[in-house]
Amino acid sequence: MTDGPLIVQSDKTLLLDIDHPLSTECRRSIAPFAELERSPEHIHTYRLTSLGLWNARAAGHDAEQVIDTLLKYSRYAVPHSILVDVAETMSRYGRLRLEADPVHGLVLITTDVAVLEEVIRAKKIAPLLGIRIDPETIAVHPSQRGHIKQSLLRLGWPAEDFAGYVDGQHHEIDLVQDGWKIRPYQELAAEGFWHGGSGVVVLPCGAGKTIVGAAAMAHAKATTLILVTNTIAARQWREELLQRTTLNEDEIGEYSGAKKEIRPVTIATYQVMTKKKNGAYAHLDLFDTHDWGLIIYDEVHLLPAPIFRFTADIQSRRRLGLTATLVREDGLEGEVFSLIGPKRYDVPWKEIEAQGYIAPAECIEVRVTLTENERLGYATAEPENRYRICATTRTKRNVVEELAKRHADDQLLVIGQYIDQLDELSEVLGVPLIKGDTPVKERERLFNLFRSGEIKCLVVSKVANFSIDLPDATVAIQVSGAFGSRQEEAQRLGRILRPKSDGRTARFYSVVSRDTIDQDFAQNRQRFLAEQGYSYKIIDADDVFEGKL
């Protein structure tokens, strides 16, 4: 037994004692292969998963390195079953590999004939294959490169893809570091992606994922398609690229509901790409009618199903996914791995905060007690209506009013799910509301007024969850959400994490109805905050009115 910072348990959890002097060194060593589950004050929990171990293999780590790391830092003897499982799981990656072939176009090659025999008999894989060339090699229809990677991952035999990428049409793009400098982690993220060929970069909201995209474009020097969540995000990308790169206005096009411009760099919204016309996706041919050298997926954790399907067909293009969290409530992280690529770079939020690149944040849950009438209304409601009832209670409105008064001098966002609740809060607080049917020009006008400080408070619906850059927002009040979504919690917290000029701490309030399903959902959402190392304080609504903040 050594006095290491890590406890390795037979259920595949790793417990990291962060008060140990070697904890930082250990965390960096296990980060490439272990998935962080939660990181409260003293003990952080990681988990060994097949996907995490295959990510590590894709990044060039082998089982011997992983095992050596566990043995080096473990406080107690590492369970033998874990060592065996790590070696066997990682050995599955790469026994099958996809390669380009001058005669057949694309082939699947194995180092283990029994594995190939097993997979070619799988019902979902057989239709994707061509002729058997020799015992170790079988032809694959080139158009099925993505589909076969998906299917093999589901079978537990992830294929290593050596089939290469087309360069796409050349287009000169360079970074212009005039008055700013790319941060070390941004450079590492872009390089990690480029050397890997395709994959995902995970960085906190406010840490400059757009700069990573721009740096990847400078590596590729090719025509680029960028997919974003909405028109506001498209225009923010455009402004950032004009400021940070050699691109000029004529080289960047917007492909959205409002415009259909195709330029060497084209920024398209997920909404327009998934829009149906006469039962067909009218715009998906944008992917393959142009010789793109790079495709960037902003907020890749939100990738809609039709884009997943089409991404399976464009495996010859380099693909970069950008996200603050790979958590998907539908559990499709494996699809991102197989179709966009493995995780190429990830860093804990708190590490970026410690470097001063994102603001520190205080997370506070304010619990309100429903009135007798509200409790009866909640208790007698149909189960499908209960969350809406407890999430939109009048009692919450009183708390939001009081919090808004106390933060009258701060840049404040009030965020919610239900439009009637937000309409009411907008009216009571006397501030503008941005929601789904707010025209894009009006949204931009209000966001600009908020950025300049002319408007101190905005009420926003879930349209502001993603890709909205509001650097001076210092306080957010969440009144309702998409049930227990940790991914949404990450995005909402991210709205206030841009570093503040005066170095102040951001505050993230969640107003929650006690003894209801709202409280249950809040606990699930809280998991994300704990996973990232944020302390989470619970106070009573009375404390707000009594000034005990």
Tell me what pLDDT residue 298 has.
93
Helix 113-120, helix 145-155: angle, nearest 10:
110
Backbone angles phi, psi at 160, to 5 degrees: -85, 130
Q: Where are the alpha helices (DSSP H) in 113-183?
A: 113-120, 145-155
The Cα–Cα gap between 196 and 32 comes to: 14
Q: Is the pLDDT of residue 277 over 60?
A: yes
Tell me what pLDDT residue 110 has.
95
Tell me, what DSSP letter sits at residue 499?
P
Q: Is the pLDDT of residue 329 over 70?
A: no
- Verdict on whether the full-model pTM lies above 0.85: no
Residue 134 pairs in a beta bridge with 137
Q: Please, which pLDDT band fits residue 286 given cuts at 50, 70 and 90?
A: confident
Query: Higher confidence at residue 306 or residue 503?
Result: 306
Q: Is the pLDDT of residue 22 over 80?
A: yes
Q: Please, which pLDDT band fits residue 467 given cuts at 50, 70 and 90?
A: low
Q: Please, which pLDDT band fits residue 2 given cuts at 50, 70 and 90?
A: low
**Is 184-349 a domain of CATH 3.40.50.1860?**
no
Highest mean pLDDT out of 109-113, 303-307, 414-418, 493-497 = 109-113
Size of the chain, expressed as the number of residues it contains: 549
pLDDT digits 0-9 by tens, 117-134: 999 999 989 999 999 999
Distance between start and end Cα atoms, the chain: 45
- The two structure tokens encoding residue 71: 């043995």
Identical topology for domains 184-349 and 359-545: yes
DSSP states of 213-261: HHHHHHHH-B-EEEEESSHHHHHHHHHHHHHHBS--GGGEEEESSS-B-
Q: For 195-215, what is the mean pLDDT? A: 90
pLDDT digits 0-9 by tens, 429-446: 999 999 888 888 898 899
Tell me what pLDDT residue 138 has.
96
Residue range 359-545 forms a domain whose CATH class is alpha beta
Q: Is the pLDDT of residue 456 over 90?
A: yes
Q: Is the pLDDT of residue 357 over 60?
A: yes
CA dist 263 → 222, 395, 461, 549 (Å): 12, 51, 32, 52
The whole-chain average pLDDT of the chain stands at: 88
Q: Which of 291, 295, 318, 289 is nearest to 307 (CA)?
A: 295
Q: Is the pLDDT of residue 484 over 60?
A: no
Q: Which of 274, 267, 275 is nearest to 298 (CA)?
A: 267
Beta strands 105-110 and 96-101 are antiparallel
Q: Please, which pLDDT band fits residue 35 given cuts at 50, 70 and 90?
A: confident
pLDDT digits 0-9 by tens, 170-189: 999 999 998 899 999 999 99
Residue 137 pairs in a beta bridge with 109, 134
The Cα–Cα gap between 1 and 18 comes to: 19
Tell me what pLDDT residue 465 has.
62
Domain boundaries, the chain: 6-92, 96-161, 184-349, 359-545
Tell me what pLDDT residue 469 has.
67
Q: For 466-483, what is the mean pLDDT? A: 75
pLDDT digits 0-9 by tens, 56-106: 998 889 999 999 999 999 999 999 999 999 999 999 998 999 999 999 999
Tell me what pLDDT residue 483 has.
57
The Cα–Cα gap between 462 and 485 comes to: 12
Q: For 221-233, what is the mean pLDDT? A: 92
Tell me what pLDDT residue 125 has.
93
Q: For 248-272, what is the mean pLDDT? A: 92
Q: Please, which pLDDT band fits residue 232 given cuts at 50, 70 and 90?
A: confident
**Of all residues in the chain, what percent carry a pLDDT higher than 90?**
52
Q: For 450-475, what is the mean pLDDT? A: 80
Task: Pick the range with the lowest mean pLDDT from 266-275, 307-316, 466-475.
Answer: 466-475
Q: For 214-239, what is the mean pLDDT? A: 93
The Cα–Cα gap between 522 and 120 comes to: 46
Question: Which residue has tokens 């259920």?
Answer: 11
Q: Is the pLDDT of residue 471 over 70?
A: no
3-state secondary structure 285-349: HHCCCCCCCEEEECCHHHCCHHHHHHHCCCCCCEEEEEECCCCCCCCCHHHHHHHCCCEEEECCH
Question: Burial letters for 421-454: b for 16+ Cβ neighbours within 10 Å, e otherwise?
Answer: bbebbbeebebbbbbeebeeeebeebbeebeeee
Q: Is the pLDDT of residue 159 over 60?
A: yes
Tell me what pLDDT residue 176 has.
94
